[in-house]
Amino acid sequence: MAPPYVCVTDFEEEAHQILDKKIVDYYRSGAGEEVSLNLNRQAFRRLRIRPRCLRDVSRLDTTCEVLGYKLKWPVGIAPSAMQKMAHNDGEVGNATAAGEMGSIFILSTLSTIPIEEVALKTPDTCKWFQLYVYKDRSLTESLVRRVEKANFKALVLTIDSPVFGQRWTDARNKFSLPTHLELANFQSSASDMRTTSEDGMSAVHEYVSNQFDATLTWKDVEWLVKLTHLPVVAKGVLTAEDAVLAREFGCAGVIVSNHGARHLDSIPASIEALPEVVKAVGNDITVMFDGGIRQGNDIFKALALGAKMVFVGRAALWGLACGGTAGVKEMMRVLKRDLEITMALAGCQTLNDIQRRNVVHECEYAK
């Protein structure tokens, strides 16, 4: 963990030096022309913070409660596939760091360390499990039972991926899981992500077409809610309409997310979609957020627009690449310090002090 890291970009630049190019491309890239990927950052830049002065910010409180769990700060780690490609600590590294920082880790279905091992090695971390629904429903159900047994605290159902989008770099790279790694939650053909297709798609794309159930509807959300005693969170909501359906079909929360802009290009930035979701269901279920978070003021803006907490995807992968568990923890420390400085300078002592009126769109200043 060499350079002084003052912001997430420093971790990213270092990770680009450390990792194989195909892996950097897989982690970094977005779908199509990457319009939405760029928007995820640009849209944050178009929001302005309205700071308040003389409000005694000598002692700051970043704690919060989400789905019944007390967190030291409102930033968790989003599910991302195949974390051992970043560092051998893999998912255990990210989960350990999230726990030590007093927040939540979401384990991807497509992890390179099995559910049970992550649970055993990170007993003190509040863990949620991200679920993809397989065509083989018995396989899906067995995943649910395993995470219940392993003491995970919520199921995060990714609803934006009936098929996967096209990431051109991965297709050009013929990206597939390196041979020394495996999709560790499976033994059958579901563990195989090495076959690239004849029509030039990446192995990830081929895997998803073969294994994931594209017939899913809201009825299946109802099925899942009945199947488990865990709260179900719908991840990938970008509209008020779907947020209302998530509430109606029994979800305890939603994550407003465009999947790191990796699937459908030309969709809004997650932060652009957040206000309509908050307006539709924010008083009834827990609204959370991911997409494009790289600095403290991004976190502040998402909270001001009504998210209860946010998650980071790529930032954690870059931290992991730079130093395993210690790298992720350092990345989170940098982000937390940045959030605290933002809160102090904006005149907010607690997260409750961060209000809707603290953030406006830049066009308000152009009038």
99 is in an annotated binding site: no
* Residue 259 found at the interface with ligand FNR (CB under 6 A): yes
Helix (H) or strand (E) holding 295: none
Catalytic pick among 87, 205, 259, 263:
259
* Residue 176 found at the interface with ligand FNR (CB under 6 A): no
| 259 assigned to active site | yes
Give me the least distance between CB of 26 and ligand FNR, in Å please: 6
Give me the least distance between CB of 113 and ligand FNR, in Å please: 13
Strand partners, 293: none
Closest-CA residue to 188 (of 134, 144, 128, 133): 134
Cβ contact 265:31 at 8 Å: yes
Alpha-carbon dihedral sign for residues 111, 65, 146, 225: negative
* Residue 293 found at the interface with ligand FNR (CB under 6 A): yes
Determine which residue in the list 74, 76, 90, 292 makes contact with ligand FNR, applying CB under 6 A: 292
DSSP string, 257-274: --GGGTSSTTPPPHHHHH
Among residue numbers 323 through 352, which ones bind ligand FNR (CB under 6 A)? none
Alpha-carbon dihedral sign for residues 327, 73, 315, 158: positive
* Residue 105 found at the interface with ligand FNR (CB under 6 A): no
Q: How many CA atoms lie within 13 A of 139 on its CB side?
A: 17
* Residue 291 found at the interface with ligand FNR (CB under 6 A): yes
337 is in an annotated binding site: no
Candidates 12-20, 57-65, 74-82, 174-182: pick the segment binding ligand FNR (CB under 6 A): 74-82
Residue 350 sits at φ, ψ, to 5 deg, of -125, 170
Among residue numbers 262 through 281, which ones bind ligand FNR (CB under 6 A)? 262
Candidates 17-25, 49-57, 91-99, 290-298: pick the segment binding ligand FNR (CB under 6 A): 290-298
CA 228 – CA 223 distance, rounded (Å): 9
Tokens of 192: 């195989």
145 is in an annotated binding site: no
Tokens of 52: 């308040």
32 is in an annotated binding site: no
Among residue numbers 220 through 239, which ones bind ligand FNR (CB under 6 A)? 235
* Residue 297 found at the interface with ligand FNR (CB under 6 A): no
> Which residue type occupies 61?
D
Q: Report long-range pairs for 216-222 (Cβ below 8 Å, ≥24 apart).
A: 216/133, 216/159, 216/162, 218/245, 218/248, 218/249, 220/133, 221/157, 221/159, 221/246, 221/249, 221/250, 221/251, 222/249, 222/250
Give me the least distance between CB of 291 and ligand FNR, in Å please: 4
Determine which residue in the list 112, 122, 125, 158 makes contact with ligand FNR, applying CB under 6 A: 158
Q: Give, in order, the Cα–Cα distances in Å from 349 to each of 51, 53, 258, 359.
A: 12, 11, 30, 16
Determine which residue in the list 94, 108, 185, 196 makes contact with ligand FNR, applying CB under 6 A: 108
* Residue 130 found at the interface with ligand FNR (CB under 6 A): yes
52: which residues sit within 8 A by CB, 6+ positions away? Answer: 346, 347, 348, 358
- Is the Cβ of residue 57 or residue 78 nearer to ligand FNR in the bound state? 78
Among residue numbers 16 through 45, which ones bind ligand FNR (CB under 6 A)? 26-27, 40
The size of the interface with ligand FNR (CB under 6 A), counted in residues, is 24
Give me the least distance between CB of 275 and ligand FNR, in Å please: 18
Give me the least distance between CB of 365 and ligand FNR, in Å please: 26
- Is the Cβ of residue 57 or residue 307 nearer to ligand FNR in the bound state? 307
DSSP-derived 3-state class of residue 351: helix
26 is in an annotated binding site: yes
CA 50 – CA 34 distance, rounded (Å): 30
> Which residue type occupies 108?
S
- Binding site residue list: 26, 79-81, 108, 130, 132, 158, 167, 235, 257, 259, 262, 290-294, 313-314
Tell me which residues touch ligand FNR (CB under 6 A). Answer: 26-27, 40, 78-81, 108, 110, 130, 158, 235, 257, 259-260, 262, 290-293, 312-315
Active site residues: 259
- Binding site residue list for FMN: 79-81, 108, 130, 158, 235, 257, 290-294, 313-314
